[in-house]
Chains A and B, each alone.
Chain A
Amino acid sequence: MKTIADLLHEHPFFRGLAESDLQFLASCGENCVYHKGDYLARENSQANHFFLIRSGRVAVETFVPHRGPLCLLTLRGGDIFGWSWLFPPYISAFDARALEDVRSLRLGGECLRNKCEQEPKLGFELMKRFARIATERLQSARIQLLDIYGPDHQGHTA
């Protein structure tokens, strides 16, 4: 039987963190499974958790009237979801829906905030990791916005 600390250790987000830090964070974590169609988070609802996706696909969605759910991004094993728990008012901006059975490890937002306040050094390390991923997501969103395969950029010699 793997402990929460073991599972944290396996996830790329925590790669390279000291064993003692993982042990320190483990008490915030719980192992959970979402079935296809379950929501990990709902838009405009309390953002109580930080999710580490271990396996399975998750869609980050919003609902467009007359059109239905619009998927902005899919996530999979190795990815993370959610940083709304970091800042007041701790409200999710998007839906996160399991597209298939999802094994996840979720860490309580409040618990994680308290740990980071207690250990600012670890807190800063985690913050850097969040910031890097947030930057990547922002870049991706910008590229998506460019519509690079659209008529203005189409056009390879083919």
Chain B
Amino acid sequence: MIPTVYRVSERSVEYPGTFTLKLEAENPEPDKLPMRFAPGQFNMLYAFGVGESAISFSGLGSDDGNLIHTIRAQGNVTRALERLKAGESLGVRGPFGIGWPLHATVGREVLIIAGGLGLAPLRPVIYAGLLGHLAAIRVRLFYGARRPSELLYREELAQWGQQLNLEISVDHGDGTWPGHIGVITDPLQAAQIDGANSVAFLCGPEIMMRFCIQVLLRKGVPASSIYLSMERNMKCAIGLCGHCQWGPNFICKDGPVFCYEDIRPWLQIRSL
């Protein structure tokens, strides 16, 4: 399975080391449909000669064929992707994996809980909520980050604050920061949540998700209504290379989004 060549049409820096690429197909074949994806799925982005990295979709699943990916430069591949300028080419394989169960939001309150870069794979869900594509009662976003300068999509966050219930928590901040300082579990703990009628989507560092899940369970959100996106090393993205195994699961094809109820025992096992 070989990648399709895309070109960087726009590049923006979220904060130093973290950037968003907008990609368009280099030679769109007239009879070929643009890539369609489900929120929570991912692509393998190939940097020439360096390798591939699994990157979630962060954009709108619109029909113009453009892809939006937010990337943190932390390895050889993502650092090479960071060096790409507008007009330069890269390879794209995808979409892969199982995304967020949007059908589970019908008639429920949706709690989107994102930590750090974990907001990126959840942005398509937020878009779906804002566009009224979710038959949810209400969409609430809890977003935790290290400090105000390390927030993703800052302009959009300001807009979202008007359109949905938004709680941002930073671990460190000064007096000028208008939101919560502490940890993401604080606003979650303080929130009035109708547990039985809520569905939660979590993405962020594994520790953050574990602590948030404890709060959600205390608030009566059933384990079967909690979904989280897991991370492991992905090479082939199609269940053949064995890298992303986690107990009986292949993160690439059985996930990355899992229902907490199904994976609960595996989360307890360390270094699995």
Q: Is A143 located at the chain interface by the 8 A CB criterion?
A: yes
Instruction: Report A52-66 CB contacts with B as 1/0, cut-off 8 Å.
Output: 000000010000000
Q: Is A30 located at the chain interface by the 8 A CB criterion?
A: no
Q: Is B55 located at the chain interface by the 8 A CB criterion?
A: yes
A143 to B174, CA, bound (A): 19
Interface range, A side:
20 to 34
Q: Is B48 located at the chain interface by the 8 A CB criterion?
A: no
- Tell me whether B72 and A155 are in contact (CB under 8 A): yes
CB within 8 Å for A157 and B55 given contacts A136-B189, A143-B207, A149-B150 = yes
- Tell me whether A158 and B58 are in contact (CB under 8 A): yes
- Tell me whether A154 and B171 are in contact (CB under 8 A): no
Selected interface stretch from A17-25, A43-51, A72-80, A119-127: A72-80
- Tell me whether B42 and A157 are in contact (CB under 8 A): yes
- Tell me whether B229 and A156 are in contact (CB under 8 A): yes
Q: Is B185 located at the chain interface by the 8 A CB criterion?
A: yes
Contact of B231 among A59, A144, A156 (CB under 8 A): A156
Interfacial chain B residues near A140, Cβ < 8 Å = 182-183, 185-186
Besides A136-B189, A153-B206, A154-B116, 15 more A-B contacts (Cβ < 8 Å) are A71-B177, A71-B181, A73-B182, A144-B171, A147-B171, A148-B115, A148-B204, A149-B116, A149-B145, A155-B117, A156-B203, A157-B55, A158-B56, A158-B58, A158-B72
User: What are 22 A-B pairs with beta-carbon distances under 8 A?
Assistant: A69-B174, A70-B174, A71-B172, A140-B182, A140-B185, A143-B208, A148-B115, A148-B171, A148-B207, A149-B146, A149-B150, A150-B146, A154-B205, A156-B116, A156-B118, A156-B121, A156-B205, A156-B231, A157-B54, A157-B121, A158-B70, A158-B120
